[in-house]
Chains A and B, each alone.
Chain A
Amino acid sequence: MRKYRLILIDTLILCVVSSVLAVAVNFAVAKLKGEAKKDDPIVIAIIQADATEVEKLVQKGADVTNETDELGRSALMRAAFVNLSAARDEPGQQGVLSNIDAKRVGLVGLLLSHGARRDTRDHDGWTALMWAAWSGLTQVVAKLLESGASPEFADRQGNTALIIAAQRGHAAIVAALLAKGADAAQANHGGHTALAAAKTGLAQCPDQAVGFAAVIAQLTPAQSPAGDSGSR
């Protein structure tokens, strides 16, 4: 028993030393960086696609109107973002992206109905519509547009939701944005319009030619006579 006692005392000492070390490093790091902002529980529920939990948190009074993370992103933006290897599902197939889109559109509707601001912009100037346009969430884009989200905002680089969707080859989203009056002639700070972005996307990802071809087809007749020079 004496053997155990001595060893346990030493182990206890080591644990105390470890704890002191962890607390000291934590203190030093907090001093250097400041306390990191916690992720809102509602964001975690969104990532987990837990609609019940999102609803519960909203009912409990979670602030979906003003609360943003360290990068200025609101819960609505997080609900409008996914990053999957497949930029789109195969035509006519109900794939992973469509399933997520169907779940997320419900969450987006819930957040909007509880006062989430549709045109809040993060530190780079992105709106929820831009996040959804990049992610390929067609139903979410439609929901946001239906709620009055503006397709006219541009980020720090001058990219609009239309340019972003075209760059990713999301034909259905491009169509939805054009139908809501998105300006196809608008160029980003690099001078690229949505059409130019789609052509670049096609050159970079020839394996996704179908999606990009559909985008290019939609944008070509929609171009203004001024062509690619409509930067603002």
Chain B
Amino acid sequence: MSNPVLNYFSEFKVLKSASRDFWLTNAIQFFDGLAYFSMVTVLTIYLTTNCGLNDVDAGKWFGIYMLFVTAFMFGVGSICDVMGIRKSYLVGFSLLAVSRLGLGVAPVFLHGATLQWVVKGILLVMSLGTAFISPVTMTSLRRYTTKAVRATGFNVYYLMMNIGAIIANALIVDGFAKIWGDVTAKLAILDFGFLMSLCAIGGALLLREDNYAEPSERSSGTNDTKRPLSILLEVWRERAFQKLLLFLVLTIGVRLIFTNQMLVMPKYYTRVLYTDFELGLASSINPLIIVLGLIAIIPIINRFATVRLIIIGMAISAFSLVFLALPLEWVMQVPGIHNVTQAYLFVIMAQIVVFAFGELIFMPRFTEYIASASPPDKVSSYMALAAMPMFIAKPINGFVSGILISKYCYDGIRPKIDTGNVTFGNSPEFMWIIYLILAALSPLAVIALRNFLTHQTPVPAAATAKEDRPS
């Protein structure tokens, strides 16, 4: 095999023929990625430190935000088909601009309960804006690419999104914290998000609505837009859908780790280490590994069967939590580790790297599995409804994470750890035992039901992966 890096990028040559609108879509996504990824890294800490929500309420409202993003996305996907790309982008980014600015300035002017209710309201507005972006982008990328270059176009999009995540975390989150300090930096990050939304609006204004790279895909103007609930009613009774739903429910445990990256990790890092911990740097390692993996590893692992890779990927992702669940005294026995800070840094880095590797194997094949388990004429419907189990799991995890953090990883736990006042049963490590058990159930359940799940399901031995990132 020749150089995988050259192989990967040589594929992009075909995009020389891609239209200006395709590149504008990528630029819009890049701006939004900078705003989105920097915001989600600090949102839970912002809700507590800047707005005064306790850990339980912060987790709860982050969970509600994610719940409404998913709920709105069901409906907004259909609205975007009717409104068109440009208008949908403008509506979505206008809502995001207003809400990001609102979050950025509200704590300056408001205090106490008033501030908290205003922020909760803004989170709901932001969830509607966020829900617009993903479906419009998918439509936009399809419309502005020919069938011949579409797969490459999506690869560029995923690459740009991950690069955006790296820059947002490493430069924006940490850079702003260094300039303005921990508390004010959160506001600056949200204000930066407002500016990025304005840039995205500028880009959206330049898009041409009537540009179809494939003229055959131009809408006939007939009423072919489906009602969101009709999709559900259409497939609800189908055996294939029920099996897919079971598969998705079984995998919730391990997929919760993805939401934990935003819900639990920021507070965990800053409380077991220190409040000025480089949160952005830690959060940028995951997308960095994904980018490198997309280039070097995906071509190799694509040779293996989908379900096997899903199980292996899930097992690796779940296993990553073992590092966080280890008693600290055990970690202190590792050569080169002399103190509590080093021990926590070691387990955190180990978890990030191992989890990213598992995600790299698991996520692309997960999306592929959903597509392959769907009847050929209903792939879109199945894909849209695949979010359903997580729709229920997200708010539950939001609430549960808040409770677990407030009990096992409260602000001020580090001094108590240092002085031996925290037993294992009350430690952050115990919190991770709970999450580890939930996560480990997923690969075990899929292994146990593998024959049932794959029976009569067309699973390709090796197919081209479409890398996906959780929103």
Contacts and interface: CB of A to CB of B under 8 A. Distances in A.
Interface of A: 3-4, 6-8, 10-11, 13-15, 17-18, 21-22, 25-26, 29, 33, 36-39, 41, 44-45, 47-49, 53, 70-71, 73, 78, 81-85, 96, 124, 126, 131, 134-135, 155-157, 159, 164, 167-168, 190, 203-206
B293 interface: no
Interface string B373-405: 000000000000000000110011001101100
B75 A14 contact: yes
Given A26-B60, A39-B52, A4 B82 contact: yes
B115 to A, nearest CB: 9
Interface stretch (B150-158, B357-365, B413-421): B413-421
25 contacts: A3-B82, A4-B79, A10-B74, A11-B74, A14-B228, A15-B72, A18-B68, A22-B64, A25-B399, A29-B399, A36-B406, A38-B57, A39-B52, A44-B51, A47-B49, A81-B412, A81-B415, A83-B415, A124-B416, A134-B418, A135-B415, A157-B421, A159-B420, A167-B419, A205-B338
Given A14-B75, A21-B67, A36 B54 contact: yes
B228 A10 contact: yes
Contact of A22 (B78, B223, B339, B395): B395
Contacts of B56: 33, 36
Nearest to B419: A159
B396 A84 contact: no
Given A84-B274, A157-B419, A10 B229 contact: yes
Given A36-B56, A157-B420, A167-B419, A22 B74 contact: no
B183 A48 contact: yes
A206 B415 CA distance: 20
B127 to A, nearest CB: 9
Which size class do B's interface residues fall under? 35 or more
B147 interface: no
B227 interface: yes
A44 B52 contact: yes
B111 A53 contact: yes
B57 A204 contact: no
Nearest to B69: A18
A115 B58 CA distance: 31
B76 interface: yes
A17 B71 contact: yes
Contact of A73 (B60, B63, B399, B412): B412
Given A41-B111, A48-B183, A82-B275, A7 B415 contact: no
Interface of B: 48-57, 60, 63-64, 67-68, 71-72, 74-76, 78-79, 82, 111-112, 183, 223, 225, 227-230, 271, 273-277, 338-339, 391-392, 395-396, 399-400, 402-403, 406, 410, 412, 414-416, 418-421
Given A4-B82, A203-B338, A205-B339, 12 more contacts: A6-B227, A8-B75, A10-B228, A13-B229, A15-B71, A26-B399, A41-B111, A45-B111, A47-B183, A49-B183, A164-B415, A190-B420
A13 B273 CA distance: 44
Nearest to B127: A18
Contacts of B55: 36
Name the prevailing secondary structure of the B interface residues.
helix
Contact of A204 (B74, B228, B338, B403): B338
Contacts of B48: 39
Given A22-B395, A155-B419, A84 B276 contact: yes
Contacts of A167: 418-419
B75 A11 contact: yes
A225 B51 CA distance: 53
Contacts of B400: 29
A196 to B, nearest CB: 14
A7 B74 CA distance: 10
Contact of B223 (A3, A124, A155): A3
A131 B415 contact: yes
A37 B76 CA distance: 37
B270 to A, nearest CB: 8
Given A38-B54, A83-B275, A156 B399 contact: no
A36 B407 CA distance: 11
Contacts of A29: 60, 399-400, 403
Contact of B396 (A3, A14, A17, A25): A25
Contacts of B112: 41
Given A21-B67, A156-B421, A7 B82 contact: yes
A166 B287 CA distance: 41
A85 B421 CA distance: 21
A-B residue pairs, 3 tightest by C-beta: A11-B75, A44-B52, A204-B339
Contacts of A3: 82, 223, 225
Contact of B406 (A7, A8, A70): A70
A159 B183 CA distance: 31
Contacts of A48: 49-50, 183
A14 B338 contact: no
Contacts of B273: 85
A18 B419 CA distance: 44
A22 B421 contact: no
Contacts of B227: 6-7, 10
Nearest to B232: A10
A11 B338 contact: no
Contacts of A81: 412, 415
Contacts of A15: 68, 71-72
Contacts of A206: 338
Contacts of A205: 338-339
A25 B423 CA distance: 30
B300 to A, nearest CB: 39
A173 to B, nearest CB: 14
A168 B419 CA distance: 10
A132 B79 CA distance: 56
Nearest to A36: B56
Nearest to B74: A14
A82 B277 CA distance: 13
A101 to B, nearest CB: 14
B79 A11 contact: yes
A204 to B, nearest CB: 4
A16 B60 CA distance: 17
B67 A22 contact: yes
